[in-house]
Each structure stands twice: as structure tokens, then as C-alpha cells.
Amino acid sequence: MKTVRTVRDLRAALSTQRSAGASVALVPTMGALHDGHLELARRARAENDVVVMSVFVNPAQFDDPADLAAYPREEAADAELAVGVGVDLLFAPPAEEVYPPGFSAWVQLDGPIVLSLEGAQRGVGHFRGVTTVVTKLLGMAAPHRAYFGAKDAQQARVVRALVADLNIDTEIVTVPTVREPDGLAMSSRNRRLDPAERARAVGLFAALRRAQQMTSGGERRAEVILVEAGRILAEHRIAPEYLALVDADTFLPAGTVGARSALLLVAAQIGDTRLIDNVRLEAPPSVR
Ligand code: PAF
């Protein structure tokens, strides 16, 4: 595996294989790799000829400077893990390569998919930072496919809207969330949890799983599902920033779980660590 730090070197490294017709995958990450990222890379490896992984802690998407400063940076360990899953090229640019002096081409979407939930909690700058850096990474690597985790469900939806609206010729692949054995969604932030916080954090998935059980049992009413999921969060002393049932496509509140796919999403601060998770809720065919 080769590591490159400039767009010029990235393009040069890809040019021969691209001219020979090879398919190129991009796995965008902010590093501190865990099995969730590695699953994206494994899937990319299985479906493409060349796999590029970007490792860039994007300052533009952090609303809180302390969160940006605390974000783990461990490129050497990331490189070893990336080699292990067959990444061909690691793109680890310095901030000036992505945002040179005078940079002003921000990419900003509109509507509930960017304004609700994460957008409302973290401010409009968050998704503006994500859509700007993703547009740039897609422009830099020009991949045939790019891989995103389902844990960041709203981000994945926003990225799909981005490539559709800007006619970017990259297929967006969303890969299911990878979980710890007790259900906690893998996240680079989990390592910041102390043992007591780690024990409480399982409440996030416990609440979501309970909602899944309820919908499999025929419950469709959002208010009933949200009260019960909220009760499970409270049992784990988790006060959510949001716990919401939304239409998976529009991100508008869903009153019921019906034939259209709905997402139940949660965000919460556990100690100093902010975690998010979600599950898809579907009504069984018999109650649609
Ligand atoms: O999901 C992430 O790690 C980031 O938001 C991404 C997509 C790499 C953009 O910085």
C-alpha cells in the first residue's frame, strides 16, 4: 500500500489503472479506524479493482473546537489496518491541501435532510463541512463507487442527495452498521468512554432494538414506540439530544411505521462523548 498526500500524487497513482479500465473505489474516513471502517474497505475490495482510503480529519465539519482537538489521530495504526483489508492507496492530505488559503467553494444542501436532527444539533456548518469535503474527495479521486456507513444514516442520505443533485458520476454504497457483541455501534469515539460510560452506552442500541421488536410485533404508532425507546434510554441514564422516527427518504417526522421505510435515530452525550445510532423500522407485511 502506498500513502500519498497531494491530489497530484493521488491522480498520478491512479492514472495507469484508470486508463486500463480499472474500477476505483473510495472509502472516505477521518481515521481512527475500527471494524466499521474496515467493513467499508472489505466491501470496496470485493467490488472494485482499486481501493483508495482517505484519512482526513475534516475541520470544516466540527461544530465544537474541543471535539476536533480530541478527535483521535493515529495514522500509523490506521495504515496497518488498511493494509490488512487490502487498501491499495491511502490518501492522507494535510489540511492546506484540502483547504488552501483563499478557499471559498462551500457546498451546501438545503431542506430537512440537512436541517433536521444532526443539522439542528450541530448547526448548518456540520453538513456543509461534510458535503464540501465529500464533493472535493470525489473530485480528487473520481471513484466509480464510494462507501459510507449506515451508522451515519443522515450523512449517507445527504451524500446521496449531493451526488444526485450535482450529477456526480459516483455510485454511493451504504454498508450496514458494525456492532460490538453487546450491540454498541462501532465508532472512533467509543474509545473515549470510561468503563461506566461504556456500560451506559449499550442503552442506545437496547432502545433501538426494543423498537424493532415492537414493530415486528405489529406496533406502528410513533408515539408509542418513542415513549418505550425513551424509557429504555432513561433506564441507562441517557438523556437523548434527539430520539426521532423519520421517513428514511425525506427525514420528515413519521407518525407511523408503514409501508415506507422509517428510521429511528438517536443521539446522546454519554459523559463527554457524543454518540449516534439508528435502526430501520419496517412494519411486518401483515400490518401494512
Ligand atoms: O463519516 C466520516 O467519517 C466523515 O464524515 C467523512 C464522510 C469521512 C467526511 O469527512
What residue ranges do the domains of the chain occupy? 2-175, 188-279
Q: pLDDT tens digit string along 15-68? A: 999 999 999 999 999 999 999 999 999 999 999 999 999 999 999 999 889 989
Question: In the prediction, which pLDDT does 245 show?
Answer: 98
Instruction: Tell whether ligand 1 has an atom less than 6 A from the beta carbon of residue 153.
Output: no
- Mean pLDDT of the 231-236 span: 98
Question: In the prediction, which pLDDT does 150 show?
Answer: 98
Domain formed by 2-175, architecture: 3-Layer(aba) Sandwich (3.40)
Which residues are CB-neighbours of 243 under 8 A, at least 6 positions away? 207, 226, 229, 230, 233, 264, 265, 266
**What's the pLDDT band for 224 if we cut at 50, 70, 90?**
very high
Question: In the prediction, which pLDDT does 260 show?
Answer: 79
Centre a 10 Å sphere on the Cβ of residue 10 and count the other Cβ atoms it contains: 23
- Mean pLDDT of the 196-206 span: 98
- Centroid of ligand 1 to alpha carbon of 224 (angstroms): 33
Centre a 10 Å sphere on the Cβ of residue 151 and count the other Cβ atoms it contains: 21
The DSSP 8-state label assigned to residue 218 in this structure reads T
Q: pLDDT tens digit string along 240-261? A: 999 999 999 999 999 999 877 8
Question: In the prediction, which pLDDT does 287 show?
Answer: 61
Q: Please say whether the beta carbons of 145 and 26 come within 8 A.
A: yes
The DSSP 8-state label assigned to residue 29 in this structure reads E
Instruction: Tell whether ligand 1 has an atom less than 6 A from the beta carbon of residue 30.
Output: yes
Q: Please say whether the beta carbons of 163 and 5 come within 8 A.
A: no
Instruction: Tell whether ligand 1 has an atom less than 6 A from the beta carbon of residue 60.
Output: no
User: What's the pTM value of the predicted model, to 2 decimals?
Assistant: 0.96
pLDDT above 70: residue 288: no
Q: Please say whether the beta carbons of 163 and 170 come within 8 A.
A: yes
- Please check whether the domain covering 188-279 is classified as CATH 3.30.1300.10: yes
Report the residue count for the chain. Answer: 288
Atom of ligand 1 nearest to the CA of 58: 10
pLDDT above 60: residue 281: yes
CA–CA dist 145, 220 (Å, integer): 35
Determine which residue's CA is closest to atom 1 belonging to ligand 1. Answer: 29
Centre a 10 Å sphere on the Cβ of residue 42 and count the other Cβ atoms it contains: 19
The stretches of the chain forming alpha helices (DSSP H) are: 7-19, 35-47, 65-70, 75-84, 95-98, 112-115, 118-122, 124-141, 153-165, 195-216, 222-235
Write out the catalytic residue numbers: 37
Question: In the prediction, which pLDDT does 77 show?
Answer: 97
* pLDDT > 70: percent of the chain: 99
Atom of ligand 1 nearest to the CA of 28: 8
Give me the residue label for grid cell 492507496.
89
Q: pLDDT tens digit string along 135-186? A: 999 999 999 999 999 999 999 999 999 999 999 999 999 999 999 999 999 9
Centre a 10 Å sphere on the Cβ of residue 7 and count the other Cβ atoms it contains: 17
